[in-house]
Amino acid sequence: MTNPTTTQQSGAIPAQPGPREVTSVTDGVAPGGKPGPGQNAAAGIASAVAGGNAGTAGLGSSVEFVPGYAPDAVIPGAGPSGRPGTRPTVKLREANPEDPPRYAPEWLELREPADASARAHDLLDPLRIRLANLPGKSGVVIHDLGCGTGSMGRWLAPRLDGAQHWILHDRDPYLLHFAAVSSPRSAADGTRVTVETRRGDVARLTPDALQGASLVTASALLDVLTREEIDTLAAACTGAGCPALLTLSVAGRVELTPSHPLDAEIAQAFNDHQRRDGLLGPDAVTVAAEAFSEHGATVRLHPSPWRLGPEQAALTEQWLRGWVGAAVEERPELRAEADVYLTNRLAACAAGELRVTVHHVDLLALSRPAGGAS
């Protein structure tokens, strides 16, 4: 997950006062990119950055890991940073010291296939019906908040008919570049998909910023927002009359097979860690459903669990390290037991004997169209 933001531009999310700024491809609009022969989209992202070795594959020599972080253990984004209350990140050495740290594309790449398998296909039909009935539209405009490397666009754009213009929002130009160049170039019916990238602050989203929007999407976003930020998001979407498809919010439930007596205690400590600093963590999807409903939207929820087995061993390993690491950061007294637990769980994972279900929930909020039509 990334911390989404977008920079002020005509029609963009208002950011802090100051000069207008936009990260763009081909003057702000680009046809979707296409992976090279033999590559999937995620592999194309990794190969876009040269160099690297195990633990930093694809990042190259221009990347350093923040202090207190063990690069050979957890990919940034998968687990805690070792500093209470902060999240694991990497920084470009040449970056401005005041720039926010960034999530490693490797984590987003690693989780993309599991995300794609988990997302709730049952929510697509009501979404397609709403988009097909939009008045006076020759195409749709989709705002993807906290887009990261663009996995939502790669999943959704080929499943929707008609011309699409995606506006990708993230705080990180590094990730925005990957998202733009690896976007699909055509919709389900072969019509054109174009892309625009923006930077700024999702917490300041307004209905005016979404004027003309057909849909707002996000993936793994809600659980890193506060209650106030979720209410701002719901007010903006419903005020603009556009639906919202918000996927892969953690539900706070994990099932491991075979089970272990420490599973529940680790899970509770992890959930508490996610609620730090006013973030909602596993409570977020419930809060979001209530917020959208209070603003007059019809809300549908659908489970979207990761189901990890031997074929997803690399993802399971990183998830385990991050899950246990966050639990220990929240409750240091668990460390001795948790170290043994993690060692045994990683061995089972490597042997193909571990299966994990990480529960998520997808949310579709169908707002009343602007103008009051039903």
Which of the residues in the chain have pLDDT under 70? 1-103, 136-137, 200-201, 203, 371-374
User: How far, in Å, are 159, 168, 178, 280 from residue 187 at the CA level?
Assistant: 7, 17, 19, 34
Helix, strand, coil in percent for the chain, rounding step 5 = 40, 20, 40
CA distances 168 to 6, 77, 101, 204, Å, are 8, 20, 19, 16
Give backbone dihedrals phi and psi of 140, rounded to 5 degrees, phi first.
-120, 150
- Integer angstrom CA distances of residue 257 from 103, 180, 296, 312, 345: 30, 39, 41, 14, 10
- HSE toward the beta carbon, residue 50, CA cutoff 13 A: 0
What pLDDT digit, counting tens, does each position of 93-144 carry? Answer: 334 445 544 567 788 889 999 999 999 999 999 999 999 988 766 789 999 9
pLDDT of res. 345: 97
Domains by residue range for the chain, with CATH? 1-250+280-305+360-374 (3.40.50.150)
Angle, vertex CA 297, rays to CA 15 and CA 252, nearest 5: 75
Are the C-beta atoms of 144 and 120 separated by less than 8 Å? no
Helix, strand or coil, per DSSP, at residue 352: coil
Please report the pLDDT score of residue 129 as a whole number: 94
Distance CA 216, CA 326 (A): 30
What sign does the CA torsion over 36, 40, 42, 47 have? negative
Q: Please count the other Cβ atoms lying within 10 Å of the Cβ belonging to residue 281.
A: 19
- pLDDT score of 239: 92
CA pair distance 349, 353, nearest whole angstrom: 6
Q: What is the pLDDT of residue 203?
A: 66
> Residues 175, 102: contact at Cβ < 8 Å?
yes
> What's the pLDDT at 104?
72
DSSP lists the bridge partners of residue 247 as 219
Q: Under a CB-based contact definition with an 8 Å cutoff, are residues 90 and 63 in contact? A: yes
∠ Cα 216 270 355 (to 5°) = 85
> What is the pLDDT at residue 76?
54
Question: Quick one: angle between helices 105-118 and 173-181, nearest 10?
Answer: 50
Give, in order, the Cα–Cα distances in Å from 118 to each of 101, 122, 249, 348: 28, 11, 11, 23
